[in-house]
Amino acid sequence: MRAPCVIHLHGGPEDQERPVFDPLYHELLGRGLDVFAPDVRGSGGHGRSFVDADLGTGRFAALDDVADCAAHAVTAGPADPTRLAVMGRSYGGYLTFASLVRHPDLFRTGVAVCGMSDLLTFFAGTEPWIAESAAHKYGHPERDRELLHALSPMSRIDALRVPLLAVHGEHDTNVPLGESEQFVRAARERGVPAELLVLRDEGHDFLRADNRRLFRRAAADWMERHLHP
């Protein structure tokens, strides 16, 4: 029997999905939602060439990996192609924003957590040491402005068709709160349902137990609302 499925994308981008207990996945599974958590190109644990495969213009292929993962969940598993969602945090949040505007008819909804929506405003607002490191991955904020614009979800916001939830820490200095705020604001201006959950007294990582529970339940509630018939 076909089931609703959440494609969950990790951060980094060089983090790696591991077979360990994840309370978020437990929450989603408890709502009758399948979870497919892949390692798209740029992830660690698969060799240097795979880690570097998303550098610069290679990131366009990494964005296409998300659509390929969704197709695999349908063809190789029980995922219902009409009830797919995408979700991720940090770099995974960026992939979520980007997937919703690059593949507007593929997913029914998305939840982006602490994601970058515009790489140029991200570079302007993040910590200097993060900007220096990120330039190697995404492109230089001065020399590669056209590339960064093309890779930015905000540059394709007019393609957004489905409702989304953005979640962000109030005091995030790695990926400033404004990245979620501007995407949600632009979605609403275009008549697309969008909500923003700001977790108080949190940064890029959610450390308070009450906020962790709030995040998990809000994300699962959102997915359940939009993926179940």
Interval 1-19: pLDDT, tens: 789 999 999 988 877 788 8
Most distant CA pair in the chain: distance in Å? 51
More confident residue, 43 or 177: 177
* Residue 220 to residue 28: CA distance in whole angstroms: 5
pLDDT tens readout for residues 93-144: 999 999 999 999 999 999 999 999 999 999 999 999 999 999 999 999 999 9
Which residue is associated with the tokens 């983090």?
A: 15
Confidence of residue 82 (pLDDT cuts 50, 70, 90): very high
Q: What are phi and psi of 56, to 5 degrees?
A: 60, -125
Which residue is associated with the tokens 């770099």?
A: 91
H-only helix segments in 17-89: 23-30, 48-51, 59-75
CB contact at 8 A, 103 and 66: yes
- One-letter-per-residue 3-state SS of 118-144: CHHHHHHHCCHHHHHHHHHHHCCCCCC
Residue 35, strand partner residues: 6
Measured over the CA atoms of residue 193, residue 199, residue 200 and residue 205, the dihedral's sign is negative
Q: What is the mean pLDDT of residues 16-29?
A: 90
> What was the pLDDT predicted at 11?
84
| CATH numbers and ranges of domains, the chain | 3-227 (3.40.50.1820)
> What was the pLDDT predicted at 17?
81
Which candidate, 112, 95, 115, 92, places its Cα nearest to that of 103? 95
Which residue is associated with the tokens 């060439």?
A: 49
Confidence of residue 229 (pLDDT cuts 50, 70, 90): low
Q: Give the range among 20-24, 166-170, 173-177 with minimum mean pLDDT.
A: 20-24
Is residue 38 pLDDT above 70, yes or no? Answer: yes
pLDDT tens readout for residues 142-172: 999 999 999 999 999 999 999 999 999 999 9
Which letter, b or e, does each residue of 26-64 get, where b requires 16 or more Cβ atoms within 10 Å of its Cβ? ebbeebebbbbbbbbbbbbeeeeebbebbbeeebeebbe
pLDDT tens readout for residues 53-63: 788 899 999 99
**Both structure tokens of 159:** 């393609």
Model's pTM, two decimal places? 0.95
